Amino acid sequence: MSKGSLMHNLGAFVGHIAKALRSDRGRTNVVKKSMQEEARGTMVLRRTTIEEIEIQPARPSDPPTPEP
């Protein structure tokens, strides 16, 4: 169990969320989204698949990649 007061832990949590929102992780493009649904008696099984492409920003030290 972590030490510290409730307010300290709450502040750390909010800080982590704010840092994630400010970070530059690149763009994400959804390529394909599919859903399968199957009824099994009184239960419905739903499976969702999302395929994404994440484009990272180029770093200044990386050489430019040639385009095909």
DSSP letter assigned to residue 57: P
Instruction: Provide the whole-model pTM.
Output: 0.38
What confidence tier does 2 reach under pLDDT thresholds 50, 70, 90?
Answer: low
Domain contains 65? no
Give the domain range for residue 34. 26-57
Q: What is the pLDDT of residue 35?
A: 92
HSE-up (13 A, CA, CB side) for residue 15: 6
Domain contains 68? no
Give the total number of structural domains in the chain: 1
pLDDT tens readout for residues 21-45: 777 666 777 788 899 999 999 999 9
Average pLDDT value for the chain: 82
Domain contains 42? yes
Domain contains 45? yes
